[in-house]
Structure 1
């Protein structure tokens, strides 16, 4: 080989090494920059994901089920759920710096790593209190994940409770996982969580959000409730869907190739944005189990009840919820009735004329300039703090599902510098055409105090009746 050929080979080799190093550097930089927070604000990716369903389908994997009936140790359950998320969720290993106070405590306790992935953030958890004899079991709602309770977990923990969460079957991966789930699977998970907690602790508080609340009401009125269970706490509780045609979902779902109500981008790492017909059918079944007509056939619920809801909730019918709460209160024991508490956001005019006069009703009022910019409390906002890194005031994620069929308004909602916030009522959508659905509770600090007061009253009653 002549010298010119050797020089050419050396130059080419150096060039390839430099080029390859540059490509690796760019790829590495992109990988670091792309995380669950930045992806949720990348409108080009949002559009592509919405159109192509990039995040709508879970990974192919062996579908194994946890043996709920065996009442295996809770740590076994947590390990199973975490492994399932890592197998099924297409973004399980994506960096996710949505670090809450609850997450920081889990790191300190050695059950999470300092640099979280999406799997770390959304997986069910146990926030262990040194007290160890009291537990709050928190059940999330339809399309959600245990991240729902990262903010409220602190309230229970500060009251001396270990906090446990459950991942309902069909959740934690992608919306397609809800295509084949049914209410009996959720009931099994709820039953396991409750009975395992009753076995492990002396005192148990049950709390549920939306569909999770309906499932808890179903359990508590269908089974002999352990005396260890001290209270039932309901956030935006599922009573009846706002859409009165929810019962049709299962029949439409039976039509071949008709599977989805909504097809969105699914960039919300903690909650599905796309919505299958089967999910609506299963949720309707869950709420039917907790309906007044179903409860009339069962023994009355004998527990103190704490509830939080919005007067203009567009997911759940608030009037139906108030009727349900009134019925539960009417059948409650004399010693528990004085503890029954309702936190109602919005107008009290929605209270029915025959609503129990001895029910404690808290009606928070808007007193800050920031709060006055909010156009009503949404169904999904109740449980989240304004400081939440994903759903709070300074978060980049925006809930714009009201406009998935209108590209112009969808883009405006996702990208405008000054979005309007509130519940997606017809009046609000008319006045604020690109309304961002409120994802945090402006009254969260007050809510923490109301929860603490309720728990203290429950504990005081327990002490005086021993």
Structure 2
């Protein structure tokens, strides 16, 4: 969804896209949001699962799998954990985005939790229901719950979730470090500021086929406005504050949603800890002389990969849904008018909008350097 946001918020495109949604429950909000302020994480998971079961508009026959993907979850190590991390997903995504990361960190002895942002997990229209306070409060509440169980609290976030956890960490002395994957600090879009205004005029920015059980494909204007609120909040904080504790940030040079160079500059200026690392997927950035920056090539022709996408960093190649041989391929990748090849073995993969002669690019949804990323995380967190 987010890869379209930069284009869809251009005013003329927005005007053209403001059609009435189909007469489907997908585009009609639930009666209420799921609660998130339970006294225990166990109760929160149980209540969220029941709410999703009652309110989700199911896309496929395997309802249990859809519920599992969208329910908050916890991974506990074999021994009592001294350190814990709370993961927060991005706009339109789900707690399941952190499944591979959670398994790896739990094996390293971490207590790992992944929460559900209000408005997610059920139907795209439910993004019309939350306020920005709901998103900030769910992070604060579950950071507090986790801090009470471990000696050392970390936060992690993808995209919009990266904004939310960074804003929280700059206010919460309990946070020992951050893991940020494609954090949405700087959208590559000059029109995002109009999203709150549009939300009073039209309900939908994008109406699309829903076939991905881990991610909404359609976007209400309210969802875009909430993302804008997260951008405003984190940018305001980063103008005046530094995060002196360790942080890992990943970014693709070819991210279709964000400005990677602005994120890199902010890392160098506002995240001064010498243990911190910035993992850059692409060509070596110019005028960067910082030993904390690691550059990994994103053009891997032997694996039919042209560029890295906004989302692929989180998923192991073995992931059964988004992995190299996973069951779900995102064909809709900004190549209108180009026929999808019948033989998927000829597909190339890249960021949204990747176009090349005689090649059809599906979205890259897994990280060929996933094990290297885990090593970088261990280096930043002191596990190496």
Secondary structure at 1:200's aligned position in 2? coil
Match of 1:57 in 2: 27
Cα displacement (A) at 1:67: 5.5
1:240 paired with 2:186, answer: yes
Distance change in 2, residues 1:264/1:53 (3 Å): farther
Paired with 1:369 and 1:326, the residues of 2 have a C-alpha distance of 31
Cα displacement (A) at 1:85: 0.9
1:66 paired with 2:10, answer: no
| Aligned counterparts, 1:422-433, within 5 A | 422-425=350-353, 428-429=354-355, 431=357
Paired with 2:238 and 2:205, the residues of 1 have a C-alpha distance of 30
Paired with 1:366 and 1:213, the residues of 2 have a C-alpha distance of 22
Q: Indicate the RMSD between aligned Cα atoms, in angstroms.
A: 2.6
1:78 paired with 2:45, answer: yes
1:420 paired with 2:352, answer: no
Cα displacement (A) at 1:338: 1.5
| Correspondent of 1:214 among 157, 163, 168 | 163
Paired with 1:454 and 1:53, the residues of 2 have a C-alpha distance of 49
| Aligned counterparts, 1:36-51, within 5 A | none
Secondary structure at 2:189's aligned position in 1? coil
Contact 1:338 1:359 in 2 (8 A): no
Larger Rg over CA atoms: 1
- Show structure 2 runs of 5+ residues with no match: 1-20
Paired with 2:121 and 2:307, the residues of 1 have a C-alpha distance of 29
Greater fraction of residues in helix: 1
Contact 1:85 1:92 in 2 (8 A): no
Contact 1:232 1:306 in 2 (8 A): yes
TM-score, normalised by the number of residues in structure 1: 0.72
Match of 1:375 in 2: 306
Distance change in 2, residues 1:325/1:124 (3 Å): same
1:318 paired with 2:260, answer: yes
Secondary structure at 1:296's aligned position in 2? helix
Secondary structure at 2:320's aligned position in 1? coil
Paired with 2:147 and 2:222, the residues of 1 have a C-alpha distance of 32
Match of 2:295 in 1: 363
- Show structure 1 runs of 5+ residues with no match: 1-50, 97-115, 461-466
Cα displacement (A) at 1:315: 1.1
Match of 1:117 in 2: 65
| Aligned counterparts, 1:327-366, within 5 A | 327-329=269-271, 332=272, 337-349=273-285, 353=287, 357-365=289-297
Report the count of equivalent residues: 363
Cα displacement (A) at 1:358: 4.5
TM-score, normalised by the number of residues in structure 2: 0.86
Contact 2:196 2:221 in 1 (8 A): yes
Contact 1:413 1:435 in 2 (8 A): no
